[in-house]
Amino acid sequence: MAEQGDLRAAERAGASAGDDPGSGAIHCRDIYKWFGSSLIINNLQLDIAHKEFVCIVGPSGCGKTTLLRMIAGLAEIDSGEITIGKQVVTKPLPTVGVVFQHFGLFPWKTVIKNVMLPLVASGVPKAEARARAEAAIELVGLKGCNDLYPAQLSGGMKQRAGLARALAIQPEVILLDEPFAAVDAQTREVLQEELLNLWGRHKQTAVFVTHSIDEAITLADRVVVMGVNPGRVVKEITIPIPRPRTVASVRRHEQYAPLREEIWDLLRVRDSRADTKGTNANE
Amino acid sequence: MSSDVNTNESLPARADAVAPTPETLGRQVLQRRQKRLRKERWTFVGIRLLSLLVVMIGWQIYGSHTIAILFAPLTTVIHQGYILFAHYQLGSELLYSIETFAYGYVFGLLIGIFIGMLTGAYRAAEAAISMYIFALYATPMVAIVPIISLWVGYSFTAQVVIVTLFVVWPVTVTVFHGIQEIDSDLMEVSRSLRLNRRQTWLHVLLPGAVPFIITGATQGVAMGMVGVIIAEVQTELTGIGKALQTEASTYHTAGALAVILLIMALGLTLRALLSVVKRWVVPWQRLDRGSRRA
């Protein structure tokens, strides 16, 4: 198994990254996950195309964050297989950037050092790492904040730094775990707007976990609705709203209200069932 | 880019000022915060000086009304201290004790940091040796002093070993807990960023442990001072331990008090030094604390 993984890794290294139309595709096959003796994810199948933006929504305890962590190589896959491009995920892959809900910035490092860290760690020469980090910081609108410590930043700015760090490695895939859940509502919309803008210019495969239906419709090409007890894909809904989008243009779109209603109904059904059963799964 | 710098002050240019502001705004906020902190600091300095004055006057008055064998007025104590320095080599005794302390403290600190980090970071190491650490931490080191004398004798080396033993356990335990408390979220981030073991130590565990090392080092100062005096009184009578013993056993209470004051001053100086070191090595911690205590 490990040997096979290595083989695939070697193949992958041979192919020129980024040009390969399949390099950012994600396939989740027959995924099962248990927490203790309770089944959290039951036979989940999910395919995400190269450069597709997918939002995963679902009630608490449906395993959406767990699924993302498995794709990120941070949580063990109890059964089944996840591939990104040609690589089987067994540990965090170099082509994947992760944005954490809790920002995940190192408090003892300034913004620039935080963003440079994955580059320096992967052996990029320091000068180049700095240049690339600076570019990523500028991209997310944090120019001038290079030498500030995370403690000096607001939630919104922290998450910009987190995003810059994920983008600095120029990943094929970016995984975002409720990245805007910890910021206030206005900042959240500003960040959504910026993410739309950014993703419009530099497309990569994006998997975005969120609680917010609005956020999912605004950002995604496709919304994956998960159900709880056990977690599984209930429905996949393609969002036909054309790009380029803005938060406002999405809200105005005629499809917005019906989509919102459809997803809301799916979630409400699952949610009420979840409430009566009670969910002990800790996301 | 909205200028959402964390601050409690009302800022004139707050709103959602765009492009150039965060940098200048950040600087303004910092300056303002520093100014407020400076002001607060001077207020507390004032309170402290006042309190000191009251205690000194109280000491002077009380000391003047008791018999000399039991207590002495502050002026007498200071005068006696001067005499000890001028005529009884208290200065060189002090240097001797400082040397003992320095060796023991540095050894204790280094060993403590090493063991603390090892056991904190690796569960196998924890399983293997943490029980001894906690057992020794719970044991009053004074109990071990006679044994150390048996093994190492009564020399300078024995004194250093004793000081080391006093310092090492509090440091070890603090660093151990510190490493364990490093955010498990941050450890996950390290994995996600594909840091190898060396990089994880360098970028995450070591810097994360620094505040705890400083805390351990501060506790170590107090324990080390205890260690020095006990070592000097229990083994070969040397240094300030000797000065203290000599003065007290000959009922020179003022002299003994002078030595005690000296020991206090030494401990306070070391602690103050450490807090300067802390501000220097943990720059990220002083930024977000707006000193919100009443």
Strands A87-88 and A173-177 turn out to be unpaired
**Has residue B292 got a pLDDT over 70?**
no
pLDDT, residue B19, reads 59
> What was the pLDDT predicted at A14?
41
Give me the residue from A104, A151, A155 closest to B284, CB to CB. Answer: A151
Which whole number is the average pLDDT over B206-221? 91
**Pairwise CB contact (< 8 Å): A187 & B284:** no
What is the percent of chain B with per-residue pLDDT over 90, rounded to a whole number? 51
Can you give the pLDDT at residue A130?
95
Mean pLDDT of B58-69: 88
Sign of CA dihedral A246, A247, A253, A255: positive
Give CA separation, A65 vs A60, A62, A226, B281, in Å. 9, 8, 11, 36
Interface test with B, best of A109, A157, A190, A282 (most B CBs within 10 A): A157
For chain A, which ranges sit under pLDDT 50?
1-18, 274-283
pLDDT of A283 reads 40
How many Å apart are CA A150 and CA A103, to the nearest integer?
10
Identify the CATH assignment for A22-95+171-283 out of 3.40.50.720, 3.40.50.300, 3.30.565.10, 3.20.20.80. 3.40.50.300
B18, pLDDT greater than 70: no
What angle do the packed helices B74-87 and B21-64 form, to 10 degrees? 100
Instruction: Tell me the chain A residues in contact with residue B193 when contact means C-beta distances shorter than 8 Å.
Output: 92, 117-118, 121, 165
Give every strand in the sheet of A53-57, ordered side by side.
Answer: A96-99, A173-177, A205-210, A53-57, A222-227, A232-238
Cis peptide before A230, with omega less than 30 degrees from 0? yes
Is A142 touching B (CB cutoff 8 A)?
yes
**d(CA A182, nearest CA chain B) in Å:** 14
Residues 45-104 of chain A whose Cβ lies under 8 A from any Cβ of chain B: 72-74, 91-92, 94, 98, 100, 102, 104
Q: What are A113-138's pLDDT values in tens digits? A: 999 999 999 999 999 999 999 999 99
Residue in B5, B30, B207 nearest the CB of A108? B207
Partner residue facing B192 (CB), from A74, A150, A151: A74
For chain B, the average pLDDT equals 87
| Partners of B290 in beta bridges | none
The domains of chain A are located at 22-95+171-283, 101-170
Q: Do B188 and A74 touch (CB under 8 A)?
A: yes
Query: In the structure encoding, which two tokens stand for residue B209, read together?
Result: 């442990």
Spell out which residues of chain A touch residue B186, defining contact as CB-CB under 8 Å: 104, 106
Listed range (A265-274, B13-22, B149-158, B215-224) with the worst mean pLDDT: B13-22
State the SS3 of A237-257: EECCCCCCCCHHHHHHCCCHH
Residue B285: what pLDDT? 76
- Per-residue pLDDT, B184: 83
- Kindly report, residue by residue over B84-101, the tens digit of the pLDDT: 988 888 899 999 999 999
Chain B CB contacts of A91 below 8 Å: 191
Range B80-285 classified under CATH 3.40.50.300: no
Predicted pLDDT of residue B23: 81
**Residue B153's pLDDT band (boundaries 50, 70, 90)?**
confident
Please state, in angstroms and rounded to a whole number, the distance separating the CA atoms of residues A55 and A49.
Answer: 13
Give the number of other Cβ atoms within 10 Å of residue A64's Cβ: 27
Looking at residue A107, its pLDDT comes to 92
pLDDT at B200: 93
pLDDT digits (tens, 9 = 90+) for B234-245: 888 889 898 899
Domain boundaries along the sequence of chain B: 80-285
> What's residue B101's pLDDT?
95
Check whether B1 has a pLDDT greater than 80.
Answer: no
Q: Is the ipTM of this complex over 0.90?
A: no
Please give the Cα distance from B56 to B52 (Å, whole number): 6
